[in-house]
Amino acid sequence: AQSVTQLDSQVPVFEEAPVELRCNYSSSVSVYLFWYVQYPNQGLQLLLKYLSGSTLVKGINGFEAEFNKSQTSFHLRKPSVHISDTAEYFCAVSYQTGANNLFFGTGTRLTVIP
């Protein structure tokens, strides 16, 4: 069975502080990994993705994530957050075996405190 686990449902952080949002996956096959962000009352938009190559992936708005195959993790980081980063963040996985499903984690609500 495949799954995506986001260990923290809520993460409060002060403005300009660094943040890490954790994501772990379980899979018996190779995966593609994604982070999506959902701002209040909006649909989701892609932050970044890992398909292959360099394990450090840079995305929009200063976010980056590192694929760690041995730890089956894909944690999202930002060195200095802004108020505008307050949103819900979803990790997602799809599989390289040809399936076209996309599986999302339960989400992490990031709240940036002024």
Partner 1 sequence: EAQVTQNPRYLITVTGKKLTVTCSQNMNHEYMSWYRQDPGLGLRQIYYSMNVEVTDKGDVPEGYKVSRKEKRNFPLILESPSPNQTSLYFCASSLGGPTYEQYFGPGTRLTVT
Residues that bind partner 1 (CB under 8 A): 6, 9, 32, 36, 42-46, 49, 51, 90, 92, 94, 100-107
- Which among 79, 94, 77, 110 has a CA at the least distance from the CA of 8? 110
Question: Measured from the CB atom, is 10 or 80 closer to partner 1?
Answer: 10
Question: Measured from the CB atom, is 9 or 71 closer to partner 1?
Answer: 9
Cβ at position 99, least distance to partner 1 in Å: 9
User: How far apart, in whole angstroms, are the C-alpha atoms of residue 14 and residue 35?
Assistant: 22
CB 96 within 8 A of CB 76: no
CB 49 within 8 A of CB 58: no
Question: Measured from the CB atom, is 15 or 32 closer to partner 1?
Answer: 32
